[in-house]
C-alpha cells in the first residue's frame, strides 16, 4: 500500500477487535502494527457476518477516497438475507470484495458476496496460491477511476433497475446498469468524483436511438435478476415463484425451470405414450453408446437375432417380448401390439416430430404398419423430398429386417399432402415396435 492510502482492520471471529477507530495512513509504522495485530490474533468458532459488515460501514470514512471493504474468511460464517441487502444497498458507500481462504472454503458465501457487490470472488485453497491471488486482487482494485457515482434518470421513466446503487469504477471493472423503461425520451445524468475533481456526464435518450432488434438486452436483465434472487434463495428466502415466472417468461434455465423435458403424446387410439427425444451424443462417444446399438463383443447373441446383433444385455421391452415369442415358437409378426413410431431424424426448422408422426404419418399409419409387418422390418431410416407440399421421392438410407423397397414406400408417402408452401428434405428414423 502507498503512504497516501489508508487502512484499518476489524476482526469478527472470536472477538470484535479493531485496529483503529479511524482510518490510518499506510505508513511503514502503521502497516507493521497491522501485521503484528494479524499475527497475534487467532480465529475461533464461527460468527454472523452481518454485524461485522454493519460495524465496518459505521467506522469513520476518509472522504474523497475510494473505500474498499475486503471480507477475509474461511467461510465458516452464517449468512443472512440482510447481509446481502446491506451490501447491495451500500454500494455507493463502499466497494465490497470477498477473499476465501482454506481447503474447504464456502464458495457460495464468497461468490454470493462478490456478485451482490459487483466484484470478483478471490479464493486461496493453499499456501502456493496466496501470493498470485493477492497480486490479482491488488491489480484489480489498484486504479479507481470514479468514486461517489450517482445516476439520475430524470424524466426518463426507468424501473426495475439493477443494482439500486453503484460501486466505484475501477480500470478492471466496468459499471453496468440493467433496467426497464416505459418510453425512450429524456436525459440520464451521471456524476462522480475523479482525482482531478467533479465529473458530470449527460446522456440523451431519444426514440431514434432505440433498437428494438436488440432483443438480447431483456435476457441480460432477467439473468441479472435471477442470479440475485438465487443468492437469496440459498439463505432461506422463498423466491421459487418469482424465479420460475422469470425463467418461463424469458425462456431461461433456472433452478426451477429446465429445457430438458419428457413429453407425452396422445395417439388416435386414445393411448398416451412418452415421446423419445433425440439428443446429440457427447464428443468422442460413438453410436455404440445407444441402447439398441450396443456392441455385442462381450455378450451372447440371442437366438434368432444374429443378423440384427441384438444383445442379451439389451433391456428394451420390444426385444424381450420378441425373444419370448421366439422361445415359445411363435412368429414375431403375430404380435398384435406392434406400432409405428418416429424416433428421430433431421427435421428443418418449423417442423417437429409431433407434427410428422401425429399429423402427417397418421394418414398412412395403417398401411405402413402392414408393409413393415410383411417385410419383417423393425427399423428404417429414410430421406423424404417434399416440393410445394408434394412428396416427390423417398430414399432408404438403412434398415433392419428382411427387405425394404424404396419405390413401395414412395407410393405410400405420396399419399401425404403437406402445406403447398413447404419445400423441404426430411430424414426420419421409423421404428416398428
Residue 310 has pLDDT above 50, yes or no: no
Q: Of the candidates 397, 382, 380, which has an alpha carbon nearest to the alpha carbon of residue 432?
A: 380
In a domain, 183, yes or no: yes
Q: Give me the mean pLDDT over the 84-93 stretch.
A: 81
User: How does residue 80 score in pLDDT terms, banded at 50, 70 and 90?
Assistant: low
State how many domains the chain has: 4
**Per-residue CA distances from 23 to 162, 215, 220 (Å):** 31, 47, 39
**Pair 15, 100 in one domain:** yes
Q: Which of 58-72, 271-285, 355-369 has the lowest mean pLDDT?
A: 271-285
**Pair 16, 128 in one domain:** yes
In a domain, 291, yes or no: no
**Pair 245, 203 in one domain:** no
> What angle do helix axes 216-233 and 81-89 make, rounded to 10 degrees?
140
Per residue in 325-370, pLDDT tens?
A: 444 444 444 444 457 777 666 766 656 666 676 666 778 888 888 8
In a domain, 83, yes or no: yes
Residue 228 has pLDDT above 90, yes or no: no
Q: Are strands 122-124 and 95-101 parallel, antiparallel or unpaired?
A: parallel
* Higher-confidence position of 53 and 14: 53
pLDDT of residue 250: 85
Under DSSP, the state recorded for 142 is: S
Per residue in 239-248, pLDDT tens?
A: 888 888 888 8
Q: Which of 51-55, 93-97, 292-296, 392-396 has the highest mean pLDDT?
A: 392-396
**Pair 372, 419 in one domain:** yes
Q: Give me the mean pLDDT over the 13-24 stretch.
A: 78
* Domain, as residue range, for 161: 145-210
Q: Give me the mean pLDDT over the 55-73 stretch.
A: 84
In a domain, 158, yes or no: yes
User: How does residue 200 score in pLDDT terms, banded at 50, 70 and 90?
Assistant: very high
Q: Which residue is it, cell 409431433?
A: 354
In a domain, 122, yes or no: yes
Cβ contacts of 176-185, under 8 Å, gap ≥ 24: 177/151, 178/220, 178/221, 178/224, 178/225, 179/221, 180/221, 181/156, 181/157, 181/205, 182/157, 183/157, 183/207, 184/209, 184/210, 185/155, 185/156
pLDDT of residue 287: 61
pLDDT of residue 30: 92
User: How does residue 278 score in pLDDT terms, banded at 50, 70 and 90?
Assistant: low
Tell me how far apart the alpha carbons of residues 84 and 233 are, in angstroms, rounded to a whole number: 11
Sign of CA dihedral 12, 15, 17, 21: positive
Per residue in 402-412, pLDDT tens?
A: 889 999 999 98
What is the CB-side half-sphere exposure of residue 58 using CA atoms within 13 A? 8
Q: Of the candidates 255, 251, 197, 201, which has an alpha carbon nearest to the alpha carbon of residue 231?
A: 255
pLDDT of residue 269: 65
Residue 139 has pLDDT above 80, yes or no: yes
Residue 23 has pLDDT above 60, yes or no: yes
**Pair 101, 51 in one domain:** yes
In a domain, 194, yes or no: yes
The CATH number of the domain holding residue 65 is 3.40.50.410
Helix (H, G, I), strand (E, B) or coil at 240: helix
Q: Which of 96-110, 282-296, 403-417 has the lowest mean pLDDT?
A: 282-296
Tell me how far apart the alpha carbons of residues 433 and 430 are, in angstroms, rounded to a whole number: 9
Tell me how far apart the alpha carbons of residues 164 and 151 are, in angstroms, rounded to a whole number: 10
Helix (H, G, I), strand (E, B) or coil at 303: coil
User: How does residue 273 score in pLDDT terms, banded at 50, 70 and 90?
Assistant: low
Sign of CA dihedral 230, 234, 237, 239: positive
- DSSP letter string, 39-107: HH----S-EEHHHHHHHHHHS---TTS--EEEEEE-S-EE--HHHHHHHHHTTTT-EEEEEEESTT--H
pLDDT of residue 184: 81
**Pair 138, 152 in one domain:** no
In a domain, 229, yes or no: yes
Q: Give me the mean pLDDT over the 403-428 stretch.
A: 85
**Pair 134, 24 in one domain:** yes
**Pair 134, 169 in one domain:** no
pLDDT of residue 160: 85
Tell me how far apart the alpha carbons of residues 369 and 366 are, in angstroms, rounded to a whole number: 5
Tell me how far apart the alpha carbons of residues 220 and 215 are, in angstroms, rounded to a whole number: 10
What is the CB-side half-sphere exposure of residue 277 using CA atoms within 13 A? 9
Helix (H, G, I), strand (E, B) or coil at 148: strand
Residue 254 has pLDDT above 90, yes or no: no
Residues found in the chain: 433
Which of residues 153, 177, 210 is at a domain's end?
210
**Pair 18, 78 in one domain:** yes
Tell me how far apart the alpha carbons of residues 60 and 304 are, in angstroms, rounded to a whole number: 86
**Pair 193, 245 in one domain:** no
**Pair 118, 227 in one domain:** no
> What angle do helix axes 216-233 and 240-249 make, rounded to 10 degrees?
160
Q: Give me the mean pLDDT over the 198-218 stretch.
A: 82
In a domain, 347, yes or no: yes
pLDDT of residue 33: 92
Q: Which of 31-40, 229-238, 371-380 has the lowest mean pLDDT?
A: 229-238
Mean pLDDT over the full length of the chain: 76
pLDDT of residue 32: 92
User: How does residue 312 score in pLDDT terms, banded at 50, 70 and 90?
Assistant: very low
**Pair 164, 81 in one domain:** no
Amino acid at each position: 500500500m502507498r503512504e497516501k492510502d489508508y487502512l484499518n482492520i476489524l476482526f469478527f471471529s472470536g472477538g470484535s477487535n479493531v485496529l483503529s477507530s479511524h482510518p490510518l495512513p499506510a505508513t511503514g509504522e502503521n502497516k507493521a502494527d497491522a501485521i503484528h495485530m494479524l499475527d497475534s490474533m487467532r480465529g475461533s468458532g464461527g460468527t454472523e457476518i452481518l454485524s461485522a459488515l454493519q460495524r465496518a460501514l459505521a467506522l469513520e470514512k476518509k472522504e474523497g477516497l475510494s473505500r474498499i471493504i475486503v471480507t477475509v474468511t474461511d467461510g465458516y460464517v452464517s449468512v443472512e438475507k440482510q447481509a446481502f441487502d446491506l451490501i447491495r444497498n451500500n454500494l455507493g458507500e463502499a466497494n465490497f470484495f470477498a477473499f476465501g481462504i482454506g481447503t474447504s472454503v464456502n464458495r457460495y458465501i464468497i461468490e454470493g458476496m462478490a456478485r451482490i457487490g459487483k466484484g470478483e470472488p478471490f479464493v486461496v485453497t493453499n499456501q502456493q496460491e496466496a501470493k498470485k491471488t493477492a497480486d490479482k486482487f491488488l491489480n484489480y482494485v489498484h486504479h479507481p477511476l470514479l468514486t461517489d457515482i450517482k445516476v439520475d434518470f430524470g424524466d426518463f421513466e426507468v424501473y426495475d433497475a439493477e443494482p439500486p446503487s453503484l460501486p466505484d469504477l475501477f480500470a478492471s471493472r466496468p459499471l453496468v446498469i440493467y433496467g426497464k423503461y416505459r418510453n425512450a425520451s429524456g436525459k440520464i445524468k451521471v456524476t462522480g468524483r475523479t482525482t482531478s475533481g467533479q465529473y458530470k456526464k449527460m446522456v440523451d435518450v431519444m426514440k431514434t436511438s432505440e433498437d428494438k432488434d436488440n432483443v438480447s438486452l431483456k435476457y441480460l436483465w432477467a439473468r441479472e435478476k435471477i442470479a440475485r434472487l438465487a443468492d437469496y434463495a440459498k439463505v432461506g428466502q422463498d423466491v421459487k415463484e418469482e424465479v420460475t415466472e422469470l425463467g418461463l417468461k424469458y425462456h431461461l434455465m433456472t433452478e426451477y425451470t429446465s429445457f430438458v423435458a419428457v413429453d407425452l403424446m396422445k395417439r388416435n387410439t386414445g393411448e398416451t405414450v412418452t415421446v423419445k427425444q433425440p439428443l446429440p451424443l457427447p464428443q468422442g462417444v460413438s453410436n455404440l453408446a445407444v441402447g439398441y446399438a450396443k456392441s455385442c463383443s462381450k455378450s451372447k447373441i440371442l437366438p434368432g437375432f444374429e443378423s440384427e446383433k441384438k444383445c442379451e444385455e439389451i433391456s428394451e421391452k420390444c426385444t424381450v417380448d420378441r425373444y419370448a415369442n421366439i422361445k415359445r415358437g411363435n412368429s414375431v409378426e403375430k404380435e398384435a401390439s406392434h406400432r409405428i413410431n418416429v424416433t428421430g431424424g433431421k427435421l428443418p426448422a418449423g417442423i417437429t416430430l409431433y407434427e410428422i408422426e401425429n399429423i402427417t404419418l397418421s394418414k398412412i399409419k395403417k398401411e405402413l404398419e402392414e408393409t413393415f409387418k410383411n417385410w419383417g422390418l423393425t427399423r428404417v431410416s429414410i430421406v423424404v423430398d417434399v416440393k410445394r407440399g408434394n412428396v416427390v421421392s423417398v430414399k432408404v438410407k438403412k434398415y433392419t429386417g428382411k427387405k425394404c423397397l424404396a419405390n413401395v414406400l414412395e407410393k405410400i408417402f405420396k399419399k401425404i399432402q403437406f402445406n403447398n408452401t413447404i419445400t423441404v428434405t426430411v430424414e426420419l428414423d421409423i421404428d416398428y415396435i
